[in-house]
Amino acid sequence: MYRRFRSTYLSDLAFKATYSFGEFSKPMVMARLHAEFHHPRESNWSRMLEGKRFLITGGTGSFGQTLVERLKSTDISEIVVFSRDETKQHYMQQENDDPRIRFIVGDIRNYESILKALRGIDYVFHAAALKQVPTSESFPWEFIQTNVLGSHNLLNAIAHSNVAKAIFLSTDKAVYPLNSMGMTKALMEKLVRSGDYKAPGAAVITRYGNVIGSRGSVIPQFVNSILETKSVSVTSLDMTRFMMTLEESVDLVLFALSAGKDGELFVQKSPSATVETIIEALKLLLAVKDVKIHNIGIRPGEKIHETLLTSEEMNLAIEHDRFFQVRKRGSMEKSTSSSPTSRGDYSSDNTKLLNASELAELLLRVPGLLQGR
C-alpha cells in the first residue's frame, strides 16, 4: 500500500524524518513559514483591484486556481475563469461558492470565444498554454495553435475591448529556446511587444522558471516515484532549475499588474537547485534514506541550465527588491527609485544555488506537495 500523508505534514512528517535538518530547527522553519504566509502584501495591490473585473485564461490550472484564491481575498467585482476543460471547471465550481466567480468554457484558439469573454473585463491574466516539452517536440503544430495563434487571438480581442492591462505568462524556456514549447512562448513574447495590435491598454509579460507544485514541475513526479518505488528517473543530476512557489508566481503577476507599462517584462529573483539537490531534499522530507537513481539522459529540447534574462535584457532592467523590470527596447527613461543593472545573463547556474536543507524549507511552503497521488 502506498504511503499517504495528511495535510498536517508541515508539523509532523518533516520533523520526524530520520535525517537532521542541521541548522534549521523546527521552531526556525515554523517561524519562517509564518512570516512567509502572513507577510503584508503591497497595499497598493488591494486598492488597485477594488471593484475590478478579471479574466484568467487557463484559469482551471494550478496557477489560475492559486490566483483565484488570492483575488477572492480582495474587494474585486468579478473573476471570470476561462478554459476549455469543463471537468476541471465543474470541480472548481464545487469548491468555490463565491458569487463573484463566473466560469466560461472556451478556447483561445477561437477568436469569437475569447472576444465574447472579454466583455466588461478590466484586467486579463493569460495563463492558457500547452507546456510539456517532450509533447511539444512530437506535436509542434498543436503548440503553435495554442501558444502563438491563441495569444494572437487574445491580443486582437483585447484591441477591440476596454481591457486596461493584460499580463501574459511566459517561461525561461523562451530564452535561447531549444524546444518547440520554448519557441512558441518566445513568439508569444514577440507578439506582445510588437506594437502591432494598437490596444488602448497595456500588455505586459512575466517569465517563470520551475513553479513548484504546478502541472509542469518535475517535483511532484519525483515525490510519487520515491513514495511508490524508492527510485527516480533523471536526465542529469547536474541540471539546474529556477525554483519558485505558486504563491510567489501570483506575487509576480500582481507586481507586474501594478507597476508594468506596455511591452515590459517582469522576472522574479529566484534561487535554483540541481536535480541532485532536489532528490536529497525530498529524501529529507519523506524520511527515505536510499533512493535508486535511473539516469535516462537528456531528452530532446532540454538544457542543462535555464536562463530567465539575457545580458541584453539585464542591461535594460530596473532592479527592485524581489523583481527585475525590463523596459521595452527604446524606453530608456530613468527611475528615481531604482537604477539600471549591467550584468551578464541571469541563469540558473549563476543565481543563488540552494542546498538540500534550504530547498527542503522551500518545499515545505507548498501545501499538499508531499502527499503524493
Using alpha carbons, list the distances in angstroms from residue 171 to 57, 187, 199, 268, 340: 16, 12, 24, 12, 23
Burial of 34 (0-12, 13-18, 19+ CB in 10 A): exposed
Q: Which of 52, 165, 173, 303 is catalytic?
A: 173
Quick one: cell of 27? 521552531
d(CA 313, CA 82): 32
Rg for the chain, CA atoms, rounded: 21
Active site residue 173: yes
DSSP annotation of 340: B
DSSP element (H, E) containing 266: strand 265-268
List, in order, residues 6 or more apart from 39 with CB less than 8 Å away.
none
Looking only at the bridges linking them, the beta strands covering 317-319 and 265-268 are: unpaired
Looking only at the bridges linking them, the beta strands covering 240-245 and 210-212 are: parallel
Q: Annotated active-site positions, please?
A: 173
